[in-house]
């Protein structure tokens, strides 16, 4: 993680899961909604600030058990993020942006 410029390890601020996909050079920041809230606009901004020194692009993912559990949170999901449902593991829901399942460059 230090090699990626990820130097913050305050566990109360980190998402539930952090995963690095080496072949694409992507860092996934994943919130499991059953244990926390989804990636809202505010959480997205906070994670961007938390990882501002990170040298790889980040992808934000909110994970839900099923469509029913997503329904409750749908209006707070951040744009430029992804949603994954455990009941439909082969599919992702993409919330706007210029491309599907990839980091959003700030340049």
Domains and CATH numbers, the chain: 2-95 (3.40.1350.80)
Q: Cα–Cα–Cα angle for 33, 53, 1, nearest 5°?
A: 65
Question: Would you place residue 10 in the very low, low, confident or very high pLDDT band (cuts 50, 70, 90)?
Answer: low
Distance from C-alpha of 73 to C-alpha of 39, rounded to nearest angstrom: 10
| pLDDT per residue as tens digits for the range 36-78 | 799 999 999 999 988 888 889 999 999 999 999 999 999 999 9
Q: Please determine, for residue 14, whether its predicted confidence score (pLDDT) is greater than 90.
A: no
Instruction: Output the pTM of the full model.
Output: 0.84
Strand 58-64 and strand 81-85: the pairing is: parallel
Distance from C-alpha of 60 to C-alpha of 66, rounded to nearest angstrom: 18
Q: Which of 65, 78, 61 is nearest to 27 (CA)?
A: 61
What is the residue-averaged pLDDT of the chain? 87
Structure tokens at 39: 């990636």
């Amino acid at each position: 993680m230090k090699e990626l410029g990820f130097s913050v390890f305050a566990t109360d601020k980190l998402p539930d899961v952090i995963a690095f996909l080496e072949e694409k050079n992507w860092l996934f920041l994943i919130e499991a909604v059953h244990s926390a809230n989804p990636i809202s606009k505010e959480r997205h901004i906070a994670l961007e600030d938390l990882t501002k020194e990170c040298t790889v692009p980040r992808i934000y993912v909110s994970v839900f058990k099923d469509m029913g559990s997503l329904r409750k949170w749908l209006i707070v999901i951040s744009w430029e993020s992804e949603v994954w449902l455990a009941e439909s593991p082969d599919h992702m829901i993409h919330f706007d942006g210029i491309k599907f399942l990839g980091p959003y460059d700030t340049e």
